[in-house]
Amino acid sequence: MKTRIISAIIAAIIVVPLFLLGGWFFNAGVVILAALAYLEILQLKVSHNTLPSAIRIMGFLGLELITLSNFNIGFSSNSISYLSIGITCLLLLIPSIFDETGKYETRDALYLIGNIVFLGLFFNLLIVTRSVLDGKKILLYLLLIAISTDTIAYFVGVTMGKHKFTKVSPKKSVEGTIAGAIAGTIIPTIYYINLIPSNLNIVVVIIMSFVLSALGQIGDLFFSKIKRENKIKDYSNIMPGHGGILDRVDSLSFIMIGYTVIISILNML
């Protein structure tokens, strides 16, 4: 427990100032997080063969290219950088055709592209969201969904959980899942209504918060399933007591992407 607390304090000392400063300070922090997450993906040996060094480098460049792309900051339906994603796909797909060593097959290329596009989109959304009007407040709203959902789900699951929710994560209970969804809806909704200027009525905000809370729990399960398939406890030990970068952003990644989808749909209505 002591190690876990110390790690959390150190992380806060690094992350909070970058979050408050914004701009290139925040962007640089996100770029570093993306790089560390990419290394964790490459270490999942069960998921793919050993990748050649050149491919690893091209994958890294593709990830950072997507992360730093000038995505449409209005969250419209065309908020995507076709240039960055297109270049990444071509860089990683073409070499698989000419590989004769068996170290980089087409399935490896598709595996790598899937991870890079997903992670690149998430880390780019961190930058994009922070840069818009009231971006800090929106990010805090999304973080609040992840934190309140995870915290209450864990507490209720440990103290009152009696029914297992899924084999993917045996420690999760039905009681904890429901309590987490309720907390992840009520607390962030109160925050949103009172602190974020918006034309959305309270019913829409409640529904949005509930959907995002559910997506956060799905994201947690998704990344847990990856660890289960690779027979590992944590993605890395970069944060002793907490695990790796992917252990910390699992639910937030789904929440961020889900929020973008919801806002895009609402803007089209």
Instruction: Give me the percent of the chain exceeding a pLDDT of 70.
Output: 92
pLDDT tier, 220 (very low <50, low <70, confident <90, very high otherwise): very high
Averaged confidence pLDDT in the chain: 88
pLDDT tier, 71 (very low <50, low <70, confident <90, very high otherwise): low
pLDDT tier, 79 (very low <50, low <70, confident <90, very high otherwise): very low
Please answer whether residues 54 and 84 qualify as being in contact, where contact means their C-beta atoms are separated by less than 8 angstroms: no
d(CA 175, CA 167): 15
Q: What is the pLDDT of residues 176-216, one digit of tens each?
A: 899 999 999 999 999 999 999 988 999 999 999 999 999 99
In this structure, of 4-13, 16-25, 42-51, 144-153, the range with the lowest mean pLDDT score is 42-51
Whether 75 has a pLDDT exceeding 50, the answer reads: no
Distance of CA 67 to the CA centre of its chain: 12
Whether 76 has a pLDDT exceeding 50, the answer reads: no
More confidently predicted of 155 and 165: 155
| pLDDT for res 80 | 53
| pLDDT for res 44 | 86
Burial degree of 197 (CB within 10 A; 0-12, 13-18, 19+): exposed
Whether 142 has a pLDDT exceeding 50, the answer reads: yes
pLDDT tier, 140 (very low <50, low <70, confident <90, very high otherwise): very high
Whether 233 has a pLDDT exceeding 60, the answer reads: yes
Q: What is the mean pLDDT of residues 155-176?
A: 80
Tokens 């929106």 identify what position?
Answer: 138
Q: Which residues contact 129 (CB under 8 A, 6 or more apart)?
A: 135, 138, 139, 142, 256
Whether 77 has a pLDDT exceeding 70, the answer reads: no
Q: What is the mean pLDDT of residues 111-125?
A: 94
